[in-house]
Structure formats: C-alpha cells, structure tokens
Amino acid sequence: MAATRALIRRGARDLRLLAVPQCGIQADMLIGAGCVRGIEAAAVTMGELGGAPRFNAAVKAGAIEIRDSTCPAIHTALQASEKGVPFMPLRGILGTDILAHRPDWKVQDNPFAESGDPIVLLPAIRPDIALFHAPRADRAGNVWIGRRRELVTMAHAAARTLVTVEEIVEDDLLADEATAAGTLPGLYVSGVAEAPMGALPLALTEHYGADTDHLGEYARLARSAEGFAEYLQRHVLAQDVAA
C-alpha cells in the first residue's frame, strides 16, 4: 500500500494492472485517482466491505478497459512466462462468457488426443513490473516471502520486480535452509525499499492485522467521487512524501 500511495502522489498514468489473481483497495484507489488505463483480474472486491466503489464506477462509465479472467488463468499465464514458453493450456473455461470476451485466448484440440478434446490456450503474461510488500529483505536483495509462493511466480514472470519490506536485515536469508526455502533470491529483485507498516490498512500475516476502521472509512467515502477525493487528501496526498 505504501507504494500504491506513492504512485498516486507521483501522478502515475495509463497503468495496466494485473491482479494476481484478485485485488481490492489498491486497485480501487489507483483507478479512482485516474492512474489506470486497464485492468485484468479474476475479481475486484473489498471483501466483507462489499464491492470496489471506484472500480465499479469506472466500469459503468466505460472509463477503463477490463479483462475479466479466472484465478487459475492468471497463475497459469504467469507460469508460461516463468518457463519462457508462449502459452499454456488450461482445463475448464469452455462455454463461459469470460472466454467469449477474451479474443486473446484460443481454443484448440489437444494434439495428443486421438480426436477432439478442445482445450483453452492462454498467452504468456509478462508484466513490466511485479510490485509487492514482504516482511523482510537482506542487503543482497533476497526477500523472505514465506509460503506466499505466488510472489515468486510474479517475480519470475515479470521483467522487473520492486519490493517494499518491513525491515532490511543484516543476516543472509539464503544462509539457513529454513529461511532459504521461503526466500525469493535477489537475482529476480530489481529494487527493495524499507516501508515499515507498509501494507496498512491491509494486514501483513504474522506482523499486523488489517485496520478495519480505516478500510471501513475508505469503503464509505469512496462511494462518491467527492468522498474519494476527501479520502485521498486526508490519507494519501497530505502525507509526508518519502517515496
């Protein structure tokens, strides 16, 4: 979230967002602030707090390009980039309106079947940037992600990976097998910035819970463009700009 706020303060424009595989307040804020040209996602939601208000308004106004997807299609298309292959097949999806609205997806018969067996082929997704927050990194740019392995897939697939962390530690995260197994090696990491409490108002597992009051305030204010502007002024634009 710290990086999301920084993007808004910097007046980022024309971003194409890829949710892995769904997103909420981050995408909603970027859309509301006019930073986004298009979004690909399996879902955009504020969870228990209901729909994502600025996303919903932008969809209705036709203000952003939307590519509806399904969770495993996003994971799989990133895995294609991980392997450096142009596409990956995936079961299911046939007969959906998701497929009907995705001219970039193709259906072909399984070449190994004796006959028939149509299967969906997904083109590889190679993001320009993977962006996420993690508990810690070391001086060599190794980032501890625990069992959130989709972050590894994102980094493998993306051209560049930018990470914010709670803290930068002096230990070598690859030195001990116990931490190495949950570590994204610095080979895949382009930049790390320290941003304590950087996930707030969202939770960071084992570090802090979500700030539900803050999320509730957002969900309430962002229902209108004026309320959203008030939120931005209060919680994003008026902050000391470190990033």
Partner 1 sequence: MPVTRTELLIATIARLLEGCGHVAVGASSPIPGAGAFLARALGGDEMRVSVLGSRRHNFFTDGGRELFDCAAQGRMDAFFLGGGQIDGEGNINLVGVGDYPTLDVRWPGSFGSAYLYFLVPRVILFREEHSPRVLVPTVDFVSAPGVSEEGVWRRGGPHALLTGRCLFAFDRAARRFRLESAHPGESAESVAEATGFGYDAADPVPETAAPDRRMLDLIRGRVRDEIAETYPAFAAEVLGTAA
Binding site for partner 1 (CB under 8 A): 20-22, 41-45, 47-48, 51-52, 55-56, 59-62, 66, 68-73, 75-76, 79, 90-99, 101, 116-119, 147-153, 205
Crossing angle between the packed helical segments 225-232 and 212-221, to the nearest 10 degrees: 140
Q: Is the dihedral of CA 105, 109, 113, 119 positive or negative?
A: positive
Tokens of 213: 């009051």
Tokens 């967002």 appear where?
17
Nearer to partner 1, 72 or 227 (CB): 72
Contacts of 83 (CB under 8 A, 6+ apart): none
Spatial CA neighbour of 82 closest among 125, 122, 42:
125
DSSP state letter for 207:
T
Q: How far is the CB of 179 from partner 1 (least distance, A)?
A: 15
Q: How far is the CB of 52 from partner 1 (least distance, A)?
A: 7
Nearer to partner 1, 13 or 149 (CB): 149
Nearer to partner 1, 6 or 157 (CB): 157
Q: What is the C-alpha to C-alpha distance for residues 1 and 76, in angstroms, rounded to an integer?
A: 25
Q: How far is the CB of 13 from partner 1 (least distance, A)?
A: 22
Nearer to partner 1, 66 or 193 (CB): 66
Contacts of 95 (CB under 8 A, 6+ apart): none
Distances (CA, A) of 176 to 171, 173, 189, 239: 10, 7, 20, 39
Nearer to partner 1, 121 or 193 (CB): 121
Q: How far is the CB of 202 from partner 1 (least distance, A)?
A: 13
Q: How far is the CB of 182 from partner 1 (least distance, A)?
A: 9
